[in-house]
Structure formats: structure tokens, C-alpha cells
Chain A
Amino acid sequence: MTTAVAGTRKARRVSLTGNDAAAEALRQVNPDIAAVFPITPQTELMHKFAEFVANGKVNTDLVNVESEHSALSAVIGASAAGARAVTATSSAGFALMWELLTVTSGLRLPVVMCVVNRALSAPLNIHCDHSDTMGARDSGWIQLFCEDSQEVYDTTIMAFRIAEHKDLRLPVMVNFDGFIISHTMEVVDILEDADVKAFVGEYKPEHHLLNPDEPILVGPVDLPDWLFEHKRANIEATGRAPRVIREVMGEFGRLSGRSYDLIETYRASDAELVLVALGSTAGTAKEAADELREKGVPAGVIKVRSFRPFPGREIWEAMPKAKVVGVLDRSIAFGLGGGPVFHEVRSFGYEIGARVPVVSYVYGIGGRDINTDHIVGAFEDLQKIAATGQLGERYRYLNLRD
């Protein structure tokens, strides 16, 4: 079925899982190189893409490597050679890539990687949480989170433009929740192939290893005399990321009719009780906020779409009436309490002088279910704190046997 999306280009409306949506985006982008190793729940993504390769739908060289360490290594080499290169992984595979994550960002290679978020062992678990990607929150990658298959499709396309932007040239992770998004069939609007092709454009690296007219060295030894300066330059590039991401999202919005920003606010501008969330749970939280609004409870939600760079100031500015803020974390900051999103939000609150109590909710570890009732419960906690002025336990858990 073909439908016209509001105010913009023609689109096909199809049913896709998150993995299929990412594969469809990659088909339209037609990257030069994909190097992958299968791991649940990412496997179907590259399985689908491998079909496109086998059926001649793309010109991509698909490299089947022997581990995720090799997958990212191959992608780094390809990217340094001037190719548009992608990979995808989950969980332990992501962990095995760790060494190369900082190599990718340190060499300023615009690699795009889909991370289908899954818990880290032990005990062994194949289901969703954000422990994998959160371990890399200081690795120098841009980390974007998706709420549904549509966002997976859109974000995967935008990721190339963001990564390859001349002011950035930084690798981008497109994160989406394992199984919850990756294996759930949803309705997705797909742009025309030609529109996506025109949007991402031809990749023209400024410098690359296969240019005989400009012999260069990539990845030299950088001893105490210059590594600090190179890392400082990376901080500067990352600082430009919010502007670049917004530019690309704006342009994509004009093409697709779907507007994106670093955060998405939902009934937050007048909300006194605000929950901050990443990924699919943001959708559940919006549903819970609707339920409570019907009862007159001033609940709102802020979805963090870009975790790195972290839009702390934007988050706080989007909830000017907040009396209590709860932050939902699908990963754990051991030895610190709560999870990483909580710590970032609270830290930025201090920076802008917000005198608002912030409560941490860790939830959904190892794919533990989270539904609107759990989130309504969290909003009710916030309501109690706002009414009594008593914070109680700062570090809380949702749907934990307690």
C-alpha cells in the first residue's frame, strides 16, 4: 500500500520488525561494506540484509568475520580506506568490540552501527536491557535511541548523515531494544529508494588510505606528547554534535514529515511530575501519562533520543514546572546507585541550578516486563514526594521481587 505522508514525499506503508526496518534502511543507503557476526537479538537484522546482498539489491560487500572484534576491525579498515561501512551487534558481541570502539572514534571514522540492546552476562540472558551500550557511554560514539521500528528506520538513515558530517566525522550507534523492538512487527512508513539515496548522498571522505595522490597514515603511535591534544580535539567535535544532529533531523523532517530532536517531550511543559526514559519504555510512559492526565494528575514524559551527546540542558528546560523528576534506567551503575541516565539528569540539574528532587528507577533488567501499571506506580511515587516533600528512598526499582 502506498500512502502520502503529511506534507512530504511519497512513502510505502509496510509491516516490519525493528530488525527488518534497520535492514531496509541499510538496503536503501547501500553502504560499501558491512562486516558482521551473528548474535541474538541482532542476527535477523544482518540476516535480512544478507538476503539483500545475495539477491543483488545492494552493492555492499558483506564480510562474514569470525567475531565481533573482527567485525568492527574490518569496518574500521574499510572506513579508513574511504568506504561507507556498517556493522551491527548486541550484548556480548558489543562487549567484544570494546577495544575497537575507542579506535573508531579516536580515528574519527564515520562508522554506523546498529546496537540491538541486550543484557550482559552473567547469569546468561538474551533479553533487553541497556547494559551493553551504556558501558560505552564515554567511548566517543554518538549514541541515539529509538522508541519503535519507525524510529529505527529513520534513525538508521539519519545516522549516516550525522556520522559523515564534515564538522563531526564520529561513529554513531543506533540503539534499539532487543526483542521489544527488534522482533515486534510494527507499521513503518518507508521512503522511496531514490529519496533516501539523495538524502544520504555519495560518501566523499576528505582523506582516505586508498588515494594515491595523497599518501596518509591512519592510526600512528601517539605518546604522552600528543594524545591529550587529540582527545581534546575529539571533545570539541563531540560538542558540535547537538547542532549537527539537529540539522540532519531537520532536513530529514522536511523529507519525511517526521520531526525529530535530541529529546522528545510529551505533555512535559506544564507537568509537575516528569519521568525521563529511553527507548521503547518512553512509549509506555506516554501511555501512563495519558491515563494520569485523564485523572487530572500533571504527568509528563521526556524521551531522550540522543544519549551521547547528552542533552541535559534541553531536558531541564523542557520541564520548567517539574516538582519531582523520576529517571528510568534500563541498566545499573554499580557502586554508584541507580543508572547512568539518572546520574546525567541529576548532574545537569545541579549545573542549571534546578532545586528539584530526582529519583532513580532501575527497571526492565534482562527483559523484565514493564507496563503502564508499573509506570503509573512510579508517577504515584512522584506525586507522594511532591505532596509530602519527603523523598524517601532515592534509588528505586520497578517490577522487582522485593
Chain B
Amino acid sequence: MKIKQGSTWRDVPEGGHVLEPGTSAEYETGSWRSQRPKFDPSICIQCMSCWLFCPDMSIKLDADGKVAGVDYRFCKGCGLCARVCPANPKKGGAHALTMEVETEGGKR
């Protein structure tokens, strides 16, 4: 039994059990953010630290497995990616990932 638009108390699984795996992929948590990670691919050295550290699998990879940005549907704005993002000496010590105040109300 799956909760969807229009479901009522009659449709909820007993005890609130979640009976299917992987349902968090359908549950958008991107509206919780107060800060938004901003990704600049021209600074990124592909160290993959952000991908490794992100607690919510919100770092998007492209077809070649390279960091391609942030999945704003799930990112809660914890800032870990920006914290572990190393300075790039070739870009004047800039970071590929930086946190900004979220002003777009969780838009993707």
C-alpha cells in the first residue's frame, strides 16, 4: 500500500511501517534548506570529497562519474560538502562548493 495524493487514514500501512525499500527517493526534503550549496565546475578538481561526505547522496555525478553539481530535491543545506571542499591554488584558493543563504525557497 502506497501513500499518494488523496490517501486517507484508511490507506496508511499498519503502525506506520514503510514496507518498500528506497522510498526516500520519492520524498523531497529540499524545502528544508536555509543555506544552498553553490557548485562552480570550473574550480572543481574532482577530488570527490563532497560526494564521499554528503550524508544524503545529494552530490550529482555525470555519466563519467564526475561531480556535476547538487541535487536540490534532497540537499538539506548542511554545508558538509562546502566544508570538505579543498581550496584550488590554481584558482587563487577558491572553493568549488560554497554556501549561500537560500533565497529561492527550496527551488531546484
Q: Do A and B bind each other?
A: yes
Contacts from A to B (Cβ < 8 Å): 106-109, 169, 207, 214-220, 222, 226, 228-230, 232-233, 236-237
Q: Is B14 close to A, CB under 8 A? A: yes
Rounded to whole Å, the gap between the CB of B11 and the closest CB of chain A is 8
Q: Is B93 close to A, CB under 8 A? A: no
| 26 A/B residue pairs, CB under 8 Å, sorted by A | A106-B15, A107-B17, A108-B15, A108-B17, A207-B17, A216-B17, A216-B18, A216-B19, A216-B20, A216-B21, A218-B17, A219-B16, A220-B18, A226-B3, A226-B16, A228-B9, A229-B8, A229-B9, A229-B12, A230-B9, A230-B12, A230-B15, A230-B16, A232-B9, A233-B14, A236-B9
B76-106, CB under 8 A of A: which get 1 and which 0? Answer: 0000000000000000000000000000000
Chain A residues in 8 Å Cβ range of B19 = 207, 214, 216
- Nearest 10 A-B pairs (CB), nearest first? A108-B15, A217-B18, A229-B9, A232-B9, A107-B15, A215-B21, A230-B16, A108-B14, A229-B12, A233-B9
CB–CB B15/A218 < 8 A: yes
CB–CB B14/A169 < 8 A: yes
CB–CB B21/A222 < 8 A: no
CB–CB B16/A220 < 8 A: yes
Least CB separation from B22: chain A residue: A215
Chain A residues in 8 Å Cβ range of B14 = 108, 169, 233, 237
Give complex CA distance A237, B15 in Å: 11
Give complex CA distance A109, B3 in Å: 21
Interface of A is mostly: loop
Least CB separation from B11: chain A residue: A229
How many residues of B are counted as interface, with CB atoms below 8 angstroms from the partner's CB atoms? 13
Contacts from B to A (Cβ < 8 Å): 3, 8-10, 12, 14-21
Question: Other CB < 8 Å A-B pairs besides A216-B19, A226-B3, A228-B9, 4 of them?
Answer: A207-B17, A219-B16, A229-B9, A233-B12
Chain B residues in 8 Å Cβ range of A214 = 19
Give complex CA distance A109, B20 in Å: 19
Q: B15 contacts which of A109, A215, A229, A236 (Cβ < 8 Å)?
A: A109
Chain A residues in 8 Å Cβ range of B16 = 106-107, 219-220, 222, 226, 230
Give complex CA distance A107, B21 in Å: 18
Least CB separation from B7: chain A residue: A229
Rounded to whole Å, the gap between the CB of A330 and the closest CB of chain B is 32
Chain A residues in 8 Å Cβ range of B21 = 215-216
Chain B residues in 8 Å Cβ range of A220 = 16-18
Chain A residues in 8 Å Cβ range of B10 = 233, 236
CB–CB A226/B12 < 8 A: yes
Interface-centre pick from B3, B17, B19 (highest chain A CB count, 10 A) = B17
